[in-house]
Amino acid sequence: MKTAALLAATLALAASTAMAPSAVAQEVTLKAVSSFTEKTQFSRNFERFIEKVNADGKGVVQINYIGGPRAMPPFEVGNAVRTKVVDIANVTGAFYTNLMPEADSFKLISKPTSEQRKDGTFAFINELHNQKLNSFYLARQFHNVPFHIYMNKKIDKLDFTGLKIRVTPVYKDIVEALGGTTVTTAPGEVYTALERGVVDGYGWPVTGIFDLGWEKVTKFRMEPAFYSVEVNVLVNLDTWKGLSDAQRKVLSDAALWLEALDSENGALIKSERDRQAATGIQPIEFSAADAKAFLAKANDVGWASVIKRSPENGAKLRTLSGN
């Protein structure tokens, strides 16, 4: 009897230790990182999400934010979630296409995230994250914010021959298709590259250029806007599976709240475009026909590049996207 009781007690202790975050209603703290500089455009809403989780999740789940690129180089964030160096991350798919080539297609999927959650797109992208990034796809932000190519040389036709453009995987294919030379850098290196004339232009969303002072080294913004920004919240899959239903609910509810913040983007885009104009950044515009051809080309080269690297999943994503 005595031995049996001791054994039972030992087993119970072992079980509770092994399942520490999930078994009991104990508060768990998740470690978070962002691939964008703290308090800038593409980290800010994630930081609001963290504040909300920490308020709603008292005694249930908390997030410890270790910060942005000062804490971790942006192109390493995807792998850090995969390997559980962090539990939760704010990161664009463009920064982990090395681990998941399909991530390069997310920029081509522009319908509202709420629709993607209904029509199977979100579920499929979650599966890809489960399989290839050992992570749970918790949220997608900024579906309604497009990108531009910003320039320091004026061009009068859609030909980038002789131009050197700072890119990430978002812009690489279209810049090369237009004859440009590409240099891939993290956002943190853009200012210096422009200041030193190492590049003649760069890709970036319509919002956010003021955060790191790029307006001081930017002359033109090429029209039209193209693609769709995507910044995801990913949770390491082992972490996710170890959470209780109550803990997951706090995170999932906050994720929907975060996605709904996309309704603020229309006004934000307008004010940033106005601010760019006020600071002297001039638009470079082409004819309606040329603009249309550019958009078609951007879409085509984007999909071709994904489908080449991942034929089956790429084709499925294209069908789901409707683009």
28-34: strand order across its sheet: 61-67, 28-34, 88-91, 231-236, 135-141
CB 93, min distance to ligand 173, A? 8
Structure tokens at 286: 């082409």
What is the number of alpha carbons within 13 Å of residue 234 lying toward its C-beta?
A: 37
Which of 30, 88, 89, 94 lies at the binding interface for ligand 173 (CB under 6 A)? 94
**217 binds ligand 173 per the rule CB under 6 A:** no
Residues of this chain, 152-191, that bind ligand 173 according to CB under 6 A: 168, 170, 187
In sequence order, the β-bridge partners of residue 30 are 63
Task: Give the residue carrying structure tokens 């978002």.
Answer: 170
Which of 96, 106, 160, 204 lies at the binding interface for ligand 173 (CB under 6 A)? 204
CB 24, min distance to ligand 173, A? 39
Contact stretch for ligand 173 (CB under 6 A) within 64-72, 121-129, 200-208, 237-245: 200-208
Burial level of 249, CB count in 10 A (0-12/13-18/19+)?
A: middle
**302 binds ligand 173 per the rule CB under 6 A:** no
**226 binds ligand 173 per the rule CB under 6 A:** no
**92 binds ligand 173 per the rule CB under 6 A:** yes
Q: Give the contacts of 322 (CB within 8 A, at least 6 positions apart).
A: 111
Strands (E), 17-95: 28-34, 61-67, 88-91
Which of 205, 220, 298, 313 lies at the binding interface for ligand 173 (CB under 6 A)? 205
- Residue sitting closest to ligand 173 (CB): 168
Residues that bind ligand 173 (CB under 6 A): 42, 92, 94, 168, 170, 187, 203-205, 229, 231
